């Protein structure tokens, strides 16, 4: 099974990468840009009997390494 | 403990890059110190003569650099590897009162390990309670920084520090101290009460100031803090880079006291 795991900042946590990107886009003339926020995506392929089991496994990965729970959250999107 | 018995390990993995000068800081004070690869603590592919155990040492340092390329988050991969192979050893090491220092990337590692802020004396390694986020400027900030020493005597790395304001350089992109949303004031109160705040960024007049004096936007201008017991210190600025004072041609740099203090502490054990 393959999942895209999105890691992003919790609401209220400053996102300097997103802010700087927005500033640069506006400088390039994209005046309609309202907000840019950064995301990090890991595509993970796991062996699992079913989706539930795979989701448990990936949640464990997020809690142990991929996300810092103080500032980040994660969502899982299934690719196949 | 005698000076010749002291052994200090600076732990490296791929991507750390400040281990040499950190080792030299201790050696220049006449103490045995060596850079040790994390693998030397657990791998069976290592020659017998190069195998090490944490109990071989009286003090360990996580040096600056870009361990594992700073992938995922700065310090995250190094700390995950420690959790998988050395967690219990590190817990026992800290519980025994032995000092642990994390400089820059080392501070990020200690934060990821949950060793800092380290409120719970019984759980010196645990779940993350702080983050070192991307600098507000979204830039790599590399220059001298001025720090006010605010520890009242708990931190074993600054006991001998007499100067109120020191200059250690910073060099990082992820150094902004962040506490869980809504708990910031509570955390700062506890840190103050427990005497865990060690260094805060100040301007040339000694006042708490914003950017560029606070290079990353850290809450409460925090540059370095120690655990509740005082034997684990993490700081973003680099004391090992000012062991000598290159700028004023004076032999003694501000950073030297950090290493002298911990040696003094170890000799008193």
What DSSP string describes A27-75? HTT-TT------EEEEEEE---SSHHHHHHHHHHHIIIII--TTTEEEE
Q: Please judge whether A65 and B72 are an interchain contact, meaning their C-beta atoms are less than 8 angstroms apart.
A: yes
CA distances from B14 to B67, B71, B236, B238 (A): 6, 12, 20, 19
**Among the CATH numbers 1.20.1250.20, 3.40.50.410, 2.30.30.230, 3.30.1280.10, which is that of A2-78?**
3.30.1280.10
Query: Average pLDDT of chain B?
Result: 96
Q: Grade residue B249 by pLDDT with cuts at 50, 70 and 90.
A: low
Report residue B232 as tokens: 């684990």
Query: Average pLDDT of chain A?
Result: 96
How many angstroms away from the CA of B127 is the closest CA of chain A? 9
Query: Mutual orientation of helices B76-85 and B105-113 as an angle, nearest 10°?
Result: 50
| pLDDT tens column, A34-66 | 999 999 999 999 999 999 999 999 999 999 999
Nearest CA in chain B to A38: B134
Q: Please judge whether A70 and B77 are an interchain contact, meaning their C-beta atoms are less than 8 angstroms apart.
A: no
CA R_g for chain B: 17
Q: Please judge whether B131 and A64 are an interchain contact, meaning their C-beta atoms are less than 8 angstroms apart.
A: no
Which of B111, B100, B78, B105 is CA-nearest to residue B180?
Answer: B111
Parallel, antiparallel or unpaired: strands B174-178 and B131-134: antiparallel
Which of B218, B159, B222 is CA-nearest to residue B192?
Answer: B222
Q: In what order do the strands lie in the sheet with A72-78?
A: A39-45, A2-9, A72-78
Quick check: helix, strand or coil at residue B226?
A: strand
CB distance B178 to B220 below 8 Å: no
| B240 is annotated as an active-site residue | yes
- Chain Cα centroid distance, residue B261: 14
Interface membership of A17 toward B (CB under 8 Å): yes
- Residue burial A5-42, b: 16+ Cβ < 10 Å; e: rest: bbbbbeeebbbbbbbbbbeeeeeeeeeeeeebebebeb
* Residue B247: per-residue pLDDT: 64
Q: What is the DSSP string of B48-84?
A: GGG---GGG-SEEEE--B-GGGG-SSTTHHHHHHHHH
Q: What is the average pLDDT across A27-34?
A: 96
**How many residues make up chain A in this entry?**
80
pLDDT(B44) > 80: yes
Q: Grade residue B250 by pLDDT with cuts at 50, 70 and 90.
A: low
In whole angstroms, give the CA distance from residue B158 to residue B152.
Answer: 9
Smallest Cβ–Cβ distance between A20 and the set B83, B138, B178 belongs to B138
* Residue B37: per-residue pLDDT: 97
Instruction: Please report, for chain B, the start and end positions of each structural domain, with discontinuous segments joined by +.
Output: 3-268
* Residue B12: per-residue pLDDT: 97
| pLDDT tens column, B154-191 | 999 999 999 999 999 999 999 999 999 999 999 999 99
Smallest Cβ–Cβ distance between B131 and the set A19, A65, A68 belongs to A68
| pLDDT tens column, B74-122 | 999 999 999 999 999 999 999 999 999 999 999 999 999 999 999 999 9
Cross-strand pairs, A7: A40, A74
* Residue B227: per-residue pLDDT: 98
Q: Grade residue A19 by pLDDT with cuts at 50, 70 and 90.
A: very high
The fold of the B3-268 domain, in CATH, is Rossmann fold (3.40.50)
Report residue B18 as tokens: 């400040």
Nearest CA in chain A to B79: A65
| pLDDT tens column, B207-234 | 999 999 999 999 999 999 999 999 999 9
């Amino acid at each position: 099974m393959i999942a895209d795991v999105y890691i992003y900042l919790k609401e209220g946590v400053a996102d300097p990468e997103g802010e700087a990107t927005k500033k640069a886009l506006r400088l390039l003339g994209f005046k309609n840009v309202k907000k840019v926020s950064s995301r990090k995506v890991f595509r993970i392929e796991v062996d699992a009997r079913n989706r539930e089991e795979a989701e448990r496994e990936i949640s464990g990965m997020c809690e142990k390494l991929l996300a810092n729970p103080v500032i980040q959250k994660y969502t899982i999107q299934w690719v196949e | 403990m005698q000076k010749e018995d002291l052994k200090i390990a600076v732990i490296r993995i791929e991507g750390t890059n400040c281990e040499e000068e950190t080792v030299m800081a201790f050696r220049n004070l006449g103490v045995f110190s060596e850079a040790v690869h994390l693998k030397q603590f657990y791998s069976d592919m290592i020659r017998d003569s190069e195998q090490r155990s944490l109990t071989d040492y009286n003090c360990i340092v996580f040096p600056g650099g870009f361990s594992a390329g700073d992938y995922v988050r700065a310090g995250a991969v190094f700390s995950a590897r420690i959790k998988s192979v050395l967690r219990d050893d590190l817990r026992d090491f800290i519980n025994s009162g032995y000092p642990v220092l994390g400089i820059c990337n080392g501070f990020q590692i200690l934060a990821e390990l949950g060793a800092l802020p380290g409120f719970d004396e019984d759980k010196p390694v645990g779940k993350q309670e702080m983050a070192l986020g991307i600098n507000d400027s979204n830039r790599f900030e590399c220059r001298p920084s001025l720090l006010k020493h605010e520890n009242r005597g708990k931190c074993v790395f600054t006991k001998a520090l007499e100067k109120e304001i020191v200059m250690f350089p910073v060099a990082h992109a992820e150094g902004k101290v962040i506490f869980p949303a809504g708990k910031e004031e509570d955390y700062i109160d506890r840190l103050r009460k427990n005497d865990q705040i060690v260094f805060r960024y100040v301007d040339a007049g000694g006042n708490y100031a914003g950017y560029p004096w606070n290079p990353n936007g850290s809450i409460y201008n925090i540059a370095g803090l120690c655990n509740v017991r005082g034997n684990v210190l993490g700081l973003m600025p680099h004391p090992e880079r000012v062991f000598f004072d290159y700028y004023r041609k004076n032999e003694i740099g501000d950073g030297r006291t950090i290493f002298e203090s911990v040696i003094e502490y170890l000799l008193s054990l």
